[in-house]
Structure 1
Amino acid sequence: MAEVATSASSSANSSARSVSLLVVVDPVARRLDGESVRIAKDVLSAGASHTKVCLPDDPEEFARALGRRGSRRPVVIGDDSALLRAVALLHRRRELAGCALSVVPVGSALGLARSLGLPTGAVAAARAVLDGAERRLDLLVDDSDGVVLGTVGIPPVPAPVPVRAEAGSGPQGAASVRPWLRTCQSLVRTLASSRTARTAVAPGTPGPARLRVEVDGVTLVDLDQPVEGVSVTPGAAGVAVVEVRPLSVGAQASPLTASGRTVTVSGAHFRYRADAVVSGPVGTRTWVAREGAWGLTLPAE
């Protein structure tokens, strides 16, 4: 893992903020968009009194770099997966509550970053790290100690898989995939989807499910009523917002909604998508909303 320590130049010291940053650059971001990474590092180094840049090569080095931040404010340059990895690591170490995380979104999967209010341009995001303010946000914690920043979806909706260019085929590997390779990839995905559809517990399989959904111990829907989907999202003031879409028979059925601190889903073994990760199958899962459980640096209003 490469580490580079930089300080603002003497000519820029007068405008540099008295802040020490630990910048952890996700390897996927370096590979997909090296130019945005370079721009973000330059802006951060020019705007902070001291910046240490870490270039981990794998998740283990990513974790070690974050764990050795000391008094430096951590800044993650990467996509949604890098953001989720950082939050999960800090949560497992019980350091999340006392750590204000900053993120410069770089990569192809930035939906979660956008939903949280993070700018997705390298310059704007880096300036928000320097000029923004910490905002305390709610999240969900499940009974396996997993964290959710966005939404839990049951059944999981398949996420589009971006087609990446071949290494070395252009700047930062951004050239188009060769037509014959694209055809082969499409055929493999088609065959895999067909095979998955025959598996009863396959993630993303459409169709009704029989689930019991309880909010703060009160049953919102029971096993006798098939549902098309369930979503659980961190709300405000430490509650989770739950929406259940019953199976429509004839007229369109209205969604059932509720809010509460604890949500338990049980029934036949099911899979679910929490943010970008598909988990399961499980027979039951409980999520608890935690108010202001983590801090994120966002642009000042």
Structure 2
Amino acid sequence: MSAPEPTARIAHPLLVVIDPVARRTDGESVRIAKDVLCAGADVRICLPEGPEEFARALARRGGRRPVVVGDDRALLRAVALLHRERDLGDGALALVPVGTSVDLAHALGVPKGAVAAARAVLEGAVRRLDLLVDDSDGVVLGDLRIPAAPSPVASAVSVWGVCRSLVRTLARPAPRPAPPLARTYRLRVEADGVLLNDLDRPVEDVSLCSRGGRAEVVIRPQGGEQVRVEALAVTVSGPDFRYRADALVSGPVRRRTWTVRPGAWALLLPA
């Protein structure tokens, strides 16, 4: 591939932190991103070998704008670190998505391809974005879901079903499998102090996402109509449950509160 055309240099110096996973999975895209960025800005390159070096590089960035070259997990790591340092709102973060898991980056508006993403770093505009912050200081950039888990009864039924199926197969052709049992959670969900669902009504799914400075909450109860509201704070409690926030699965927990922080962080996106 031919070398990218040089772009006009910008005044803002950059700290380019290249995640080790990106270097291993797609070294060519990393090289292209470095060439474009170095042609258009005063760049300092950092090649951390692990999370600790990644954190130290961001902490020592000085007046340079941080640019992460990596996948969704690298972006989440950078935002979480800056949030814990209480530096997230001080300046814009930039990303060149490289890796196999970059759906979150594209959903946020970061261009596909190393050249387009790197040029957005040089020529793009700062966009303020909302953030979901939980009561353990965790952050969510995109969507959060609490999908239902199989109940112990369902698991036991499935095991006995396999045993019966094996026995029947020895004697005659196996019958058609029974439809799977519904997966549900028993959760208490509150939005801004208002009870939306209690433990006596099982739910199949709960989802949260930040939209325009508020959290959109969608509850899908078993056998009932879904509930959709907007709120600033959402609390979910009940028996141990896990949840998927962006690309990560967390838990089990018995209670968690997520609060929307409007415009809490900034990302460089195409102008």
Map 1:77-226 → 2, pairs under 5 A: 77-155=69-147, 207-226=183-202
State the AA in 2 paired with 1:41. K
State the AA in 2 paired with 1:263. V
Q: Any idea what SS the aligned residue of 2:266 has?
A: strand
Q: Any idea what SS the aligned residue of 1:278 has?
A: strand
| Maintained 8 Å contact 1:156/1:278 | no
Distance 1:93 1:156, change over 3 A: farther
1:282 pairs with 2:256: no
Tell me which residue corresponds to 2:265: 294
Q: CA-atom RMSD, angstroms?
A: 1.9
Tell me which residue corresponds to 2:220: 245
Structure 1 residues 237-257: Cα deviation after superposition (integer angstroms, max 9, x where no partner): x21110001112xxxx43210
Q: CA deviation at 1:155?
A: 2.4
Give the whole-Å Cα distance in 1 for the aligned partners of 2:255 and 2:147: 13
| TM-score when normalising by structure 1 | 0.76
| TM-score when normalising by structure 2 | 0.84
Q: CA deviation at 1:69?
A: 0.6
Structure 1 residues 128-147: Cα deviation after superposition (integer angstroms, max 9, x where no partner): 00000010000100000000
State the AA in 2 paired with 1:259. E
State the AA in 2 paired with 1:256. V
Q: CA deviation at 1:215?
A: 0.3
Gaps in structure 1 of 5+ consecutive residues:
1-11, 158-193, 199-205
Tell me which residue corresponds to 1:254: 225
Q: CA deviation at 1:156?
A: 7.3
Give the whole-Å Cα distance in 2 for the aligned partners of 1:95 and 1:280: 26
Tell me which residue corresponds to 2:242: 271
State the AA in 2 paired with 1:226. P
Tell me which residue corresponds to 1:74: 66
Give the whole-Å Cα distance in 1 for the aligned partners of 2:65 and 2:75: 15
Structure 1 residues 147-178: Cα deviation after superposition (integer angstroms, max 9, x where no partner): 00011110279xxxxxxxxxxxxxxxxxxxxx
Distance 1:102 1:142, change over 3 A: same
Q: How many pairs align?
A: 238
Q: Any idea what SS the aligned residue of 2:204 has?
A: strand
Tell me which residue corresponds to 1:167: none
| Maintained 8 Å contact 1:155/1:270 | no
1:33 pairs with 2:9: no
Percent of aligned positions with the same letter in both sequences? 64
Gaps in structure 2 of 5+ consecutive residues:
1-5, 150-154, 160-181
| Maintained 8 Å contact 1:78/1:106 | yes
| Maintained 8 Å contact 2:131/2:140 | yes
State the AA in 1 paired with 2:89. A
Distance 1:146 1:156, change over 3 A: farther
Q: Any idea what SS the aligned residue of 1:17 has?
A: coil
Give the whole-Å Cα distance in 2 for the aligned partners of 1:101 and 1:30: 20
